[in-house]
Structure 1
Amino acid sequence: MAKRELSAEYRRGVQHIIQMLGSLAEQARQDVSVMMDFPDKLHAELSSAEGDLRRGMEDCLACHVRMLIEGNSSPVIGRFDPTDELEDPEDFYCIERAETH
């Protein structure tokens, strides 16, 4: 699989989620009750985004979840940037997927 070209909007979506999660982490350190509103805020952000912007946001969240599921490491919220993985997952994981038809 060739390296994917990520559009500027897609990259903006990735960065938006990184910033959103970082801000949430900072706020939660001061007042954990902000976490109760996070699902609604996340839903509103995703619902208002379209196209590549939304896809970048969703893919960034999926990378965070993947890291938690794998259990090998935890993403540093607000700093973890999965752009390299999203551009070329096969290179990132050092694997090559078989073509499916």
Structure 2
Amino acid sequence: APQLTFVGHSHVPGIFFESRKYIAPVNNEPFEIPTNEKIIINVGSVGQPRDYDNRACWVEVDGRRVTHHRVPYNFHQTYEKVRSTRMLHISLGARLIIGV
């Protein structure tokens, strides 16, 4: 049976194998989890992506299939809220626009 761990802190979606192999997810394209290796699946980020794709990212798991999904969201509204909050640096909002 595969040994899976799901993480999201780095905000970069992907599938990482114990063998050091990495697979970048393709939107809405299922990935079949192999049964013989430890795997870390980064689910991406809903609001602070770091992979130059400003859409929200989430993962669907169905048995041994993992599918990363991307959906647009109104990041301009969030950017304006960050910009108007004095305690937050403007770069925190600006990064939403380009997804880094």
Q: Tell me whether the two structures share a fold, i.e. TM-score over 0.5.
A: no
The answer to which structure, 1 or 2, has the higher relative contact order (CA under 8 A, 6+ apart) is 1
Higher relative helix content: 1
Task: State the TM-score, normalizing by the size of structure 2.
Answer: 0.23
Q: Quick check: which one's strand share is greater?
A: 2
